[in-house]
Amino acid sequence: MLNCAPAVCEDPVDKYKANDIQYLALDAHDDRSFPLLKECLPPATAFIDAAHADGRAVLVHCMAGVNRSATLAVAYLLMRDRQCLFTLFERCIAARPSILQNPSFQLQLCSLAQRNGLLYDPGALGVGGGG
């Protein structure tokens, strides 16, 4: 269980421990000035990777499941799968249309994708192909 908003969304941590559910709280803020990916993506990635290595699934949540958790989940999938951001975004929006409404988080995702060569698919644009 990865809680991206523990200040506003309390989890029953004692019940998680009793049921051997791993838990991480990341105090992310859903505002335009918060550097979400810089502050939270590294620990979120480590937590999710460790859970997956143990064969466990991870539920990533925040208050409404719209900005903080969605942005971290998309960023994680972007880096794990090395897929074009816009292709990934289309898949995620199809599954949950209301996500990623914070413009700053959108820009942070675009910057992450650009730095890693994942902002667009060169093949889809006819770039890099022959003749």
Beta-carbon contacts of 93 under 8 Å, excluding residues fewer than 6 positions away, are: 99, 100
The yes-or-no answer on residue 62 being catalytic is yes
Q: Identify the active-site residue in 62, 84, 92, 110.
A: 62
Which of 21, 63, 68 minimizes the C-alpha distance to 40?
68
Rounded distance, CA 128 to CA 120, Å?
A: 13
What backbone phi and psi angles, to 5 degrees, belong to 112? -60, -45
d(CA 101, CA 88): 16
The pair of structure tokens assigned to 32 is 């335009």
Instruction: Supply 66's token pair.
Output: 């719209």
Place of tokens 């939270």: 40
Catalytic center residues: 62
